[in-house]
């Protein structure tokens, strides 16, 4: 069994590969080499590919009996639209909620979304990466014309329903 390291030619990825090899792990790397170079990879199979390649990646996985993936592949993006949540406000003290109201989440979902928002603030200060947050309450409903919207697999196929629940 092998470990696939995506972005294994990058800074963090290449160091991870070295550590894995040091611990006698069987490692294979996929990297597109847009910003790094093949000299970062020493002694393990390297596939120059995009991780979105739906033909090559399954073949690599089969050929190397990959059972674990460590994902480091990423590109630096300078404009981010982040899907956040109104749950960052927790129990609001007033409605309508205003952007400047205290953010005191009451659950892990709101807490992690707020943490990412804070990271995006730091990314702007440090690297100029701009972002916008979309904060909304529970999305619900369906498109008025297209067959898209809120529907789980159970709802779509009427799984587990009782007669008369339709």
- What is the helix, strand, coil percentage profile of the chain, to 5? 30, 20, 50
Cβ(106)–Cβ(90) below 8 Å: yes
**Residue 33, token pair as written in the block:** 């080499």
Q: DSSP code of 144?
A: S
Beta strands in the chain (DSSP E): 2-6, 27-31, 46-48, 66-71, 79-83, 130-134
Cβ(105)–Cβ(113) below 8 Å: yes
> Is 109 annotated as catalytic?
yes
Longest dimension (CA), the chain: 65
Spot the catalytic one: 11, 109, 127, 136. 109
SS3 state at 132: strand
CA atoms within 13 A on the CB side of 55: 0
Q: Provide the annotated active-site residues.
A: 109
């Amino acid at each position: 069994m092998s470990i696939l390291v995506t972005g294994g030619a990058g800074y963090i990825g290449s160091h991870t590969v070295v550590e894995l090899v040091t611990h006698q792990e069987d490692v294979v790397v996929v990297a597109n080499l847009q910003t790094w170079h093949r000299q970062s990879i020493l002694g393990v199979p390297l596939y120059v590919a995009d991780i979105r390649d739906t033909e090559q990646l399954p073949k690599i996985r089969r050929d190397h009996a990959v059972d674990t993936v460590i994902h480091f592949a990423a590109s630096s993006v300078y404009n981010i639209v982040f899907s956040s949540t109104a749950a960052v406000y927790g129990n609001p003290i007033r409605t309508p909620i205003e952007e400047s109201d205290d953010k005191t989440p009451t659950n892990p979902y709101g807490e992690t979304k707020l943490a990412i928002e804070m990271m995006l603030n730091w990314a702007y200060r440090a690297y100029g990466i701009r972002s916008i947050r979309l904060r909304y309450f529970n999305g619900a409903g369906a498109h008025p014309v297209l067959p898209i919207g809120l529907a789980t697999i159970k709802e779509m196929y009427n799984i587990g329903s009782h007669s008369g629940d339709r």
